[in-house]
Amino acid sequence: MHIYLLKKLITLPLILLGVSLLVFVALRALPGDPARLMAGPEAPQEAVDAMRVRLGLDDPLPLQYLRFAGSALGGDLGTSIRSGRPVTVEIAERLPKTISLALVAYGIAISVGLSAGMTAAVNRNRWPDQATMLFAIAGASIANFWLALLAMNYFAVELGWLPLMGSGTWRHYIMPAITLAVMPTAVIARMTRASMIEVVGQDYIRTARAKGLPESVVMRKHALRNALVPIVTIIGLNFGSMLGGAVVTESVFNWPGLGRLLVDSVRFRDYPTVQGVTLVAVTAVVVMNFLAEMLIAAINPRIRFD
Amino acid sequence: MTEITATMAPMDSKARRRRRWLSRRRSIFIGGLLVGLVLLAAILAPLLSPADPYEQVLSDALLPPSWDHPFGTDDNGRDLLARVLYGARLSLLEVVVGVGLAVLVGVPLGLAAGTIGGLVDQVIMWTMDVLFAFPGVVLAILIVSILGPGLFNLLIAIAIFSVPVYARLMRNVALGLKSMDYVEAARALGASTPRIMFDHILRNALGPVIVQSTLTAGTVVLSAASLSFLGMGAQPPMPEWGAMMSDGRNYLGVNIYMSLFPGLAIMLTVLGFNILGDGLRDLLDPRS
């Protein structure tokens, strides 16, 4: 366990180092002069030169990287070209919006996915199973912005039941959260089914049944508890694709979160913000994956010996 | 009670095996059919289209479905059926270029990592882990923000985030085969490392790579459509499905068909690749 933990703990900063290098190089690979970009197209040459000195773009690249990584660690991600405010402030303002949307979506995905997967496993090869599997395959094949557009068209524009865009009330959450939840719900339902079916075939389930426990107790106490390991894994590892989905969903629904900030920043060529949001998002994914792996190792000792 | 007998009786294993074989064939058949339909639509687009996909007839803008325009028309009076059909060509092009580039880069990297090992392995796999840490959409946006929007740049971005999948797969295959008797025998007979790589390992990796390509194809279509929808991929007037929906977004409540039909086309295509990929994977790996 300790060696496994140690290995993982060494990999974590190595991955983050690579991620920050990639993000740094990406910004430096931009065509044109970054100082000119930051100063604006109409700025006089002196202003551009001053900007270059201020940004430290005269220094050798490794030094620039160290400075970038150092200030990023200290919580300084530069200044947004679009708003002129620190990128960290921009991100801090949007982050709660994305987190709250993701939490609601995860809540839906976990409760619906778990119960659908359980129902499917218990009724294996009967219609509830087939219906769940159909939903799981279809759910993983649908473009979430398509669902969003259809929902907006019917529930907001035509029926007027729900607000079309924006955020504020709990009713603003309904369409974006469901849209965002479809993909993870499908994944969780599929994983739950597979995991439950495998567990139900184990000897201890037969023992539990043989000693006369009611089927519902066997399922909930003996089967589900053991089936949870791969389900927790998939939820943890799904965090990245959830964030990816949030980028699209937030843009469709004009949801003022990180994803929309990223898309808007690309549109405005606000490179420091693109860099900052990317760095924060990927760090969150890496840390989440790490936590998921730790949790699995804690629950299931067999994995530690890989 | 029925569950108990089902799990205990080895007698019905023959029937179960047959049922599993049938369902496997069924997913290959259904998935293949869907993918075949898309392929057919792409090939026959000029024959099946009621009009030119780029021709604007502004007097016919935003029409609902009718005999003349089975899917209706868009805001520029272009026939939506024609655009969806020609869109199939773009989507298959996306699959070929996106998956092709990822395979061309990922497979050699994984092969090198698995067969050479040591520092080469560590550096390659570290790079792959770094790329893999990015959510696909986020990495694609970062790359497109540098290269500039456009379908080809987008496909490069999508290929880059798919590379680690193939590198990891290929490395695992190589590691598994390296210690096989016949590979060690070849080595003992004096076969060079490149010869072992290509003659013995690469050839056996064909199956897994094909399965993975089919599964990735769905992701490529979805990602390309998503990013085109956000304005970072295919640009107007290209009849790309995601880009068409980005257009349709401005006409909610006026003409939903501009969004409905391209989205349906995306779903059928991705569904086809996913079902086919699932079936092929089960066929190749009977354990699951």
Ordered DSSP codes for B184-245: HHHHHTT--HHHIIIIIIIGGGHHHHHHHHHHHHHHHHHHHHHHHHTTSSS-TTS--HHHHH
Any B CB within 8 A of A183 CB: no
Q: A265: which DSSP letter?
A: H
Between positions 200 and 229 of A, the ones with CB within 8 A of B are 200-201, 206, 209
Residues 129-158, chain B, touching A (beta carbon < 8 A): 129-131, 133-138, 141-146
> Is the Cβ pair B130, A19 closer than 8 Å?
yes
**A248 with B249: Cβ contact below 8 A:** no
Q: Given an 8 Å threshold on Cβ–Cβ distance, is A248 in contact with B3? A: no
Least confident of A52-56, A265-269, B276-280: A52-56
Cα(B91)–Cα(B69) distance, rounded to whole angstroms?
22
* Any B CB within 8 A of A10 CB: no
**pLDDT band at residue B183, thresholds of 50, 70 and 90?**
confident
Name the token pair of B83.
Answer: 């655009």
Contact list in B for residue A10 (CB cut-off 8 A) is none
pLDDT at A301: 62
Compute the CA torsion angle A16, A21, A22, A27 (nearest 10 deg): 130
List, for residues A242-291, the tens digit of each pLDDT value. Answer: 888 999 999 999 999 999 999 999 888 888 899 899 999 999 999 988 88
d(CA A96, CA A242): 15
Angular region, A257: left φ>0, alpha ψ -120 to 50, beta rest: beta
pLDDT tens, residue by residue, B187-199? 888 888 788 777 7
- Report the residue from A15, A200, A251 with minimal CB separation from B230: A251
Q: What is the average per-residue pLDDT within B83-97?
A: 96
Calculate the CA B163 to chain-centre distance: 13
Are A32 and B148 within 8 A, CB to CB? no
- For residues B181 and B269, which has the higher predicted lDDT (pLDDT)? B269
Share of chain B above pLDDT 90, in %: 62
pLDDT for B145-174, tens place per residue?
888 889 999 999 999 999 999 999 999 988
pLDDT above 60 (res A205): yes
Nearest to A143 by CA among A98, A183, A94, A88: A183
| Cβ of residue A26 closer than 8 Å to a chain B Cβ | yes
Spell out a b/e string for A234-247, using b for 16 or more CB atoms within 10 Å of the CB, else e: bbbbbbbbbbbbbb
- Region A33-39: what's the mean pLDDT? 73
DSSP state string for A36-99:
HHHH-TTS-HHHHHHHHHHHTTTS-HHHHHHHHHHHHHTT---B-TTT-SBHHHHHHHHHHHHH
- Give this prediction's pTM: 0.88
- Model pLDDT for residues B39-64, shown as the tens digit of each residue: 999 999 999 988 899 989 888 888 89
Cβ distance of A289 and B133 shorter than 8 Å: yes
Using the beta-carbon criterion (under 8 Å), do B222 and A274 form an inter-chain contact?
no
> Is the CB of B265 inside 8 Å of chain A's CB atoms?
no
pLDDT band at residue A302 under the 50/70/90 scheme: low
Per-residue pLDDT band at A304 (split at 50, 70, 90): low
Task: For residue B68, give every residue at least 6 positions away whose Cβ sits within 8 Å of its Cβ, in sequence order, or none.
Answer: B50
pLDDT at B5 exceeding the cut of 90: no
Q: pLDDT tens-digit profile of A129-149?
A: 999 998 998 998 999 999 999
Closest residue to A281, CB basis, from B138, B218, B226: B138
Contacts of A26 in chain B (CB under 8 A): 142-143, 146
Instruction: State the pLDDT at residue B4.
Output: 40
Query: pLDDT at residue A24 above 50?
Result: yes
Nearest to B139 by CA among A290, A18, A268, A109: A18
Residue B8, pLDDT score: 43
> How far apart (Å, rounded) are the C-alpha atoms in residues A241 and A148?
17
H helices present in chain B, as ranges = 2-8, 13-48, 80-116, 118-133, 136-147, 151-178, 181-188, 193-195, 206-229, 241-248, 257-284
| pLDDT tens per residue across span A175-191 | 999 999 999 999 999 99
Distance CA A133, CA A137 (A): 6
Among B residues 113-132, those touching chain A with beta carbons less than 8 Å apart: 126-127, 129-131
Is the pLDDT score of A13 beyond 80? yes
Pairwise CB contact (< 8 Å): A267 & B126: no
The H or E element containing residue A1 is none
A180, A246 contact by CB (below 8 A): yes
The interface residues of chain B toward chain A in range 43-62, judged by CB-CB distance below 8 A, are none
Q: B52 vs chain A: nearest CA distance in angstroms?
A: 25
